[in-house]
Amino acid sequence: MRKSMPKKEVINKILKKVLKEINPKEDVVKKARPFLKELDEALKKLKINAYAFLGGSTAKNTYLEGDYDIDVFVRFNYEEYKDKEQELSNILEKALKKLPKESSKTLKRQNGSRDYFHIKKDKLFFEIVPVLEINNPELAINITDMSPLHVAYVNKACKKNSELNNEIRLTKRFAKSARVYGAETHISGFSGHIIDLLTIYAGSFLKLLELTKKWSKLELENSSIIIDLEKHHKFPKREISKDKQTSPILLVDPVQPYRNAAAALSKEKLEMFIKAATAFLKEPKESFFEIKKLTPKTIREEQKSKQGKLFVLKFVMEDLGKNVTGAIAMKAYEFILKEAKKNDFKILESKFEYSDKKHEALVFYRFKEEVLEEEKELLGPPTKLKKDVAAFKKKHKNKEVYERGTRLFVKTKRIFLEPKKFIKEIIKEKYVSERVKKIEVF
């Protein structure tokens, strides 16, 4: 009988194979340089005291194979532009319009805390962000001003440990496969910055997964997990403002000590990451690094063994920028959840996933399969509150109001008795139809 391979060897074999697949086959930095040169020339022509700076995972050499999304920060001279900070986007837009036609024809402005821009060129997708050039974090006016300093921090850490670039790649791919990657409001997951810092803190991808064993035993409320890489504070909870401590991890930003870098991370996404980490360590498989495309068919396949009535919807959105569009789609999704509860339906499970490239959200709701009674009892005010009693009776003057104990009650007819009719009608509601361009039901 063939002896099974020790788990450690199995894991190492899997990670080696995954790294071979996710390590870039092309030098994206080299491919991006001509665009940065074009941009610098446009800035110079307009006598704008700024320069293009490569940022994000491309600059940190932590990008994945096939990832052609490139962050470019245009760093404006601090002394000259600090008082014109709100004009940076408009100034940058003028320079971008001066780029060769091949680049400028795809220019799109996106809404943000400081507006930024998208340009597609030669299969590359550039996100261009205006920032003030600072070296002192205290001078930052907008959080984006800090981004080049984050790049420098990660590069310094990777210089000390040459394995870190690949370890960060593994963490990122694992998080993407677990569907917890992305800091946008509609995702509330792990940003690239969080991935970088947690991997640096742990020392490797595997050590980070091992750390989650400890995390899973903690009550993930009010920042139970505290990480201060540079040991800026003796007591981080005293130093970080309370409104930034609602996330399950308090991750002190190493270059901005009074900021919780994980403030946007939700408890749900951290629990999903911990669950995936636990499952991988228990039974390691390559599938934990596969990014499975979510489709109505795959959703139905995943849900077929579960009880309840499943409804799968696709929201087709107007492109208002990935952060804005995704947030609008999320509001429509949450509205349907809220209205279902208001109409006494029990949702057993629901899910939202947004694709910023397609400007579509795929959502599902799994209802408890039941037919509600035609009438429901509404609770009224206590009988001793005369004014409230009068108002309640006036509101329900055509119905029989009755007393039970010390309260008033009334029976009213339900609008929806079963989920199918509810879904059919709720997607026509103004709140949904004004936000969603088109809805497909599967």
DSSP character string of 26-93: S-HHHHHHHHHHHHHHHHHHTT-SEEEEEEHHHHHT-PPTT--EEEEEEEE-HHHHGGGGGGHHHHHH
CA pair distance 202, 200, nearest whole angstrom: 6
Per-residue model confidence (pLDDT) at position 352:
92
CB count, 10 Å around CB of 62? 25
Please state the rounded mean pLDDT for residues 372-400: 93
Residues 6+ apart with CB under 8 A from 275: none
Please state the rounded mean pLDDT for residues 203-218: 91
Residues of the chain with CATH 3.30.70.590: 296-371+418-441
This prediction's pTM: 0.83
- List for the chain the helix, strand, coil content (%; round to 5): 45, 20, 35
Q: 436 versus 111: which is more confidently predicted?
A: 436
Residues of the chain with CATH 3.30.460.10: 23-160
CA pair distance 369, 182, nearest whole angstrom: 33
Given the candidates 3.40.50.10470, 3.40.30.10, 3.30.460.10, 3.50.30.30, the CATH classification of the domain at 23-160 is: 3.30.460.10
Look-up: residue for tokens 């569907």? Answer: 179
Buried b (16+ CB within 10 A) or exposed e, 377-389: eeebbeeeeeeeb
**CA atoms within 13 Å, Cβ hemisphere of 22:** 26
Per-residue model confidence (pLDDT) at position 123:
86
Please state the rounded mean pLDDT for residues 225-241: 90
Per-residue model confidence (pLDDT) at position 8:
87
Please state the rounded mean pLDDT for residues 63-80: 95
Taking only the tens place, the pLDDT of each residue in 16-49 is 999 999 999 989 999 999 999 999 999 999 999 9
Given the candidates 3.20.20.70, 3.30.70.590, 3.40.630.30, 3.30.1490.100, the CATH classification of the domain at 296-371+418-441 is: 3.30.70.590
Q: Quote the DSSP letter at residue 150.
A: H
Mean pLDDT of the chain: 92
Residues of the chain with CATH 1.10.1410.30: 162-292
The one-letter amino acid code at 40 reads D
The answer regarding whether domain 162-292 maps to CATH 1.10.1410.30 reads yes
